[in-house]
Structures are given as C-alpha cells and as structure tokens.
Structure 1
Amino acid sequence: MTVLASGSKGNSTVIASSRTRVLVDAGLSCRELLRRMAVAGEDPARLDAILVTHEHQDHIAGLAVLARRLKIPVFFTEPTHRAWVRMLTPRTTMTYAKWLDHVQREKEARATAIAASTPTCIQTAGLAAQLAAQSEAIASVSAEAAALNRSDDSNITLELPVDPDEEELCSPEPAEQKAEQKADPTHLPAVEYFHAGTRFSIGDIDITPFTIPHDAADPCGFVFEAEGIRMALATDLGYMPPNVKAALKRIDVLLLESNHDLEMLRDGPYPWSVKQRVLSRVGHLSNDATAEFLEKDYDGGASWIVLGHLSESNNAPELARLSAEQALGNQPTLLGNRIVLAGQSVPLDPITL
C-alpha cells in the first residue's frame, strides 16, 4: 500500500501485488499524481486499472486525464459512474419556459423520426419508453446536481486539472483525438462496473467492495486480497455500521479515516452547514469514533494501521495519533499494531508485507 495523498484536497492510493497494481481514486491532477508516483517509486506504466470509491471531487479530479494518459480501465459502481458523467457534462442555463419548449421540440422530433422508420405497433411502445427515460433522467439531474461537486472542505482550493494545457502536458495523444476528448470530458479508455458486496478481481488481486455511509451516489470501501495478504481502505464514512465492522476483520494493513477532532471542528472556521455535514451519519469519522472502533470492535489483526483523510483545518496529526494509541493501549494484546499517518502534501512510504 502506497498512499500518495489523503485529505480534503485530494486522495489516491496504490494497492499492489507482485503482478498487479491498482490506483484507488485519482483526486489530484494528472501531473501531480504522476509526480507523486515518481517520488514514491511507483511506475505509472505498471498500473493496471483505476478504482473509484465515489464521485466527490477530491477523489476524481485527475481521473479522466490520467486514465486516458495511461490507457487503463476505470472501475466504478454504475450509480457512481452516472453521477461522475453528470458532473462533467456541460449544461445550458435557460428559463423554465425555454426548457419546456426545448423538451417539447425534442419529443416532437423523436416522434417524427420514429414514425418515419418504425412500424406502428412498435412505434407507440418505443416512444413511450424513450419519453419516460428522458423524464427520469431530467428528474435525476435536478435532484442530484447540487451534491455532485462536493469536497470535505468548503474553503480549500482543490488540486484540480483546470489548466487548459493539462491534457496536452499529460497526454501524448494526437491533436485530433485530444479534440474529441475535450468535446467529451467523460471519455475513458474503458469502463468496468462492480457492485458493493460482490467480489471481483483485477489481475491477481481479489477485491471486495462494501457500502459506506457517505453523501455520494454509491460510495464504497474495499478489501484487497492477494498472496495471502489482506489490505483494506475505509475513509469518507459518517459512522461505523455493522457491515463495515464485519468487512474490516482479518486485515493486515488498514487505511482508516480519522478526519477531525470534535472540539476543533465545533470551534473552527467552517460554516455551520458544513460542520453539520461533517458530523452527520453520512459525513466523516472523528478521532473519537475511530478510537471507539479500535477499542471495541477491531480484532487486532493488522500489522499496520494507517490513519487517513485528516482534516487540515479541524484536526492535528498528534491528536489523531494519540487518540488511536490510547484506544489500542487499553488492550495490551494490540500494542504490536504500528500506527502511521497519511498526509495531504507528500506520499507515505510504501507499506510492504
């Protein structure tokens, strides 16, 4: 496990066996991800796939450019992929009256096209199905648009690929292919779907995704298993439900969220609405919640515990570490666990078993 970045400004981790390498999330720009991989001794050309936990910007900022640059598939759940596509698809602002007129013209045009090319018995059912699908899509976009571009910190500047030269600097593709990709920012070399609770494999790494409580379309944590070693990643969750506790059994390396200190968050600079979100059951784990899990539900199996997604505004590394160490210290049999902290600005040294 090599944590390239962990926090509100961007998240990305390499999970590797001797034969397979998977990048979990791509929450920094393509150039920054490549730079950090070089610093950590990771060869981007050896990556086999990108795996996405959820669609918030601090987890997918460099996703499309990096996937195109490396020509590797991206694994999503289908709802996460749809949410990501909607987030990147350009939208036109118009009045409600214009929108109704636009929808009506589209319906009439489709009806005319279908009538000209389809037998009458098929025409009615096909048109009805198309119109129903369009209505559902419009309703879905309206309901979810406000929640798509989330990060954990409303005040931070994300490491986003907003530079118009980002694609040129990070991609060796011909000019005409770049033009096509800019016209469709959601273009990916390949997309693969997985389902929470259903095990699948990338190369020789077996992956079990599990549902986590977070305010995204279909967020997941993961357990990775290869060569008799099990690693797990569980961040961006508002609390520890039974399914997550069950998933984090018999783990050798555990990356676990320890996002905020409760007092620092309550007294800190965030607007109250953001504080409520972070504290909610679809927000983020506090140091106290992480410590409670380690003390009461953790089975002690991990050689390494990596505390991740620490808030730069509402936490301090020494507080997160102390909280976890005290929780483990209450159980002498767990004192062999080594605790390290993943940071935002530099990669963590690779953890190899």
Structure 2
Amino acid sequence: MSLRFSVLASGSTGNAAYIETDQHSFLVDAGMSGKQLEALMQNIGREAKDLSGIFVTHEHSDHIKGVGIIARKHKVPIFANEKTWKAMSPSIGEVPIDQKFVFGMETVKSFGSLDIESFGVSHDAAEPMFYVFHHEGKKLVMITDTGYVSERMKGIISNANMYVFESNHDVSMLRMGRYPWNTKRRILSDVGHVSNEDAALAMSDCIGDQTKGIYLAHLSLDNNMKDLARMTVTQTLESRGFVVGEQFSLYDTDPKVPTPLTAVS
C-alpha cells in the first residue's frame, strides 16, 4: 500500500492536487472548470467519478472554481471549515446537504489508513488552512497561499517525506512589475504569498532526514519563472548547508500540466 499524489495544476490561474491510497482518492482544491479538472485527472489515468472527496483550503476562485461542478456531477463530498463554507457557498452553487462536511481547523480526519491533518495558514481569506497527509508512516505536506510560515506551522509540517510548497514570486520581479502598488503590497504582506527566498528559508527549518522531494508550487505567472524559483531555492538551501539533488530533489509544478502520479517514499 502506498500514498500517491499528483499536482494537477498550480498557479494563479487555478490550483488542484490529487491524492490517493489503495482505498480512497481525493482532490485538494478544484480551481478550474469541471471540464479542465476531468481532463487533468484523465492525464494521470484517473477519473473524477471515483473521487472520495474534495478538501478545500480557502474560498479564492483559483481554488474553488470547479468544486461545485465536480461535487454535483459525480456526487463527491466536500470538506471545508465553517468559515470557508460560509465564504465560498455563493460561488459554488447549491450542494446537496449530504455532500457537505465540516473539517475544522487543526483537527484530523481518518479515511481507512489515511489520516488527514488540517492546519491554519496566514492568507487574506476567511479561515485558510492546508493539509498534512499521513499514511503508513509516510507524510505528505501541502502548503501554499500563506504570507509567512510561522514556528507553529513549521512544527506541524516538519520532516515530511514530500512537500508541495509555495514559491510564489521573486521580490525584485514583483516590485518592478506591472501590478498596482496595492496588489504588490498585498502579495508582500503577512497575509499574501511567500517569495522564493522566504520559502527556502522556511523549508530549511522543516526539512528532515525523511525528506525526499519538494515541489515548488503556486508560482506567479507575472512575477516568477520556474528556473528562477528553482535557482533561488537551491542557492538559499545550499547556503544553509543542504545538498540539493543528493539529500532531496526539487520539482516544478505547472498551471496546465500535471506532475506524474508519484508514490510518497
């Protein structure tokens, strides 16, 4: 038995990740159209009709656009905390009551051999939270959409086997870019998004002996590039004494192309 995952899409245009065990399969967020989500899942050999549930992180449209569509079409349960439910309900349409479940902040839900732990992050949403997946001694962490990574968060996500970790922007690109100052200030704030360098500094406090891979996620289309993110994260981690490529590997994610379905090892 193994825990497997694919980052189906990641970026400002839409976010979704797929997680499965031999018993269950889930999405974390569904931030694009139902048609796009179904195509992304088919790309990795999976079908939306087989989903056991969707875990929602927060109500921003790039995370919930397809939640209601997939839930209604395939009778898929949706899990979110109470404040997120209230905030996203007008945007996802009617969902049958027997498909609506409350997943509280900093609690654990179990699905067979899979334990899913929720934890709060710092983002400009009603009550944003992300997830740690525990299965047969393996640990997968998903953390994007946070303005910073607190010591409390670091304690929860430390020494995971695999990370899907936000590396949103290059600070210089953002400061010099076309965004209005209010938008730049929001992104740079404690309730915005972490930069490449700040992400790497947080990673350096979390990486442990079990860590084998880090997926750089939620890259800004306007204020970042895959090569730049990877280079900055690598240089920052190596300045902290890590050997990238030997101790663990860095992987890209993409707004349109899923990562290969991979076992957490």
TM-score, shorter chain, exceeding 0.5: yes
Counterpart residue number, 2:59: 55
Inter-CA distance 194–332: structure 2 relative to 1 (3 Å threshold): closer
Separation in 1, partners of 2:206, 2:69: 40
- Letter in structure 2 aligned against 1:315: N
Give 1:278's match in structure 2, choosing from 187, 190, 196: 187
Instruction: Give the C-alpha shift of residue 250 in structure 1.
Output: 2.5
CA separation of 1:296/1:251 partners in 2, compared to 1, >3 Å: closer, same or farther?
closer
**8 Å Cα contact 1:294/1:324 also seen in 2:** no
Q: Is the 8 A contact 1:249 1:301 kept in 2?
A: no
How far did residue 318 of structure 1 move? Answer: 0.6
Q: Which moved more, 1:306-315 or 1:223-232?
A: 223-232
1:329 — aligned with what? 238
- CA distance, structure 2, for counterparts of residue 202 and residue 6 of structure 1: 25
- Following superposition, the deviation at residue 327 of structure 1 comes to 2.7
In the TM superposition, 1:1-353 aligns within 5 A as 1-87=5-91, 185-188=93-96, 190-330=99-239, 331-332=241-242, 335-353=246-264
Shift of 1:317: 0.6
Greater fraction of residues in strand: 2
Tell whether the 8 Å contact from 2:119 to 2:130 is kept in structure 1 after alignment. yes
> CA shift at 1:45, angstroms?
2.6
Separation in 2, partners of 1:241, 1:228: 25
Letter in 2 for 1:324: V
Q: CA deviation at 1:351?
A: 1.8
Gap regions ≥5 residues in structure 2: none
RMSD: 1.5
- How far apart, in 1, do the equivalents of 2:50 and 2:57 lie? 21
| SS of alignment partner, residue 14 of structure 1 | strand
- Greater radius of gyration (CA): 1
Question: How many residues are matched?
Answer: 257
Distance 1:327 1:299, change over 3 A: farther
What letter matches 2:95 in structure 1? H
Instruction: State the distance in 1 between where 2:176 and 2:238 align.
Output: 29
What is the percentage of aligned positions where both structures have the same residue? 37
19 and 26 in structure 1: CA distance in 2 versus 1, 3 angstrom threshold: same
Whether the 8 Å CA contact 1:20–1:204 is kept in 2: the answer is: no
CA distance in 1, matches of 2:224, 2:125: 23
SS of 1:322's partner is helix
1:319-342 deviations in whole A, cap 9, x for unaligned? 110112123323246632111011
| 1:197–1:268 distance in 2 versus 1, CA, 3 Å | same
- CA shift, 1:299, in A, is 2.9
Deviation by residue 1:47-100 (Cα, 9 ceiling, x = unmatched): 100100000000000110101111111001011001112446xxxxxxxxxxxx
Kindly tell me: are residues 82 and 311 of structure 1, through their superposed partners in 2, closer, same or farther at Cα, counting changes over 3 Å? same
One-letter identity of the residue aligned with 1:6: S
Instruction: Look up the equivalent residue of 1:13 and give its one-letter code.
Output: A
Per-residue deviation, 1:16: 1.0
The superposition leaves residues 85-131 of structure 1 with CA deviations (integer Å, 9 ceiling, x where unpaired) of 2446xxxxxxxxxxxxxxxxxxxxxxxxxxxxxxxxxxxxxxxxxxx
CA distances 1:259-294 after superposition (whole Å, capped 9, x unpaired): 000000001111111101100100001001012113
CA–CA distance in structure 2, aligned partners of residues 197 and 313 of structure 1? 33
Give me the whole-angstrom Cα distance separating, in 2, the residues matched to 1:203 and 1:274: 43
> Quick check: 1:300–1:337 contact (8 Å CA) kept in 2?
no
Does structure 1 conserve the Cα–Cα contact (< 8 Å) formed by 2:16 and 2:63? yes
The separation in 2 between residues aligned to 1:51 and 1:254, in whole angstroms, is 17
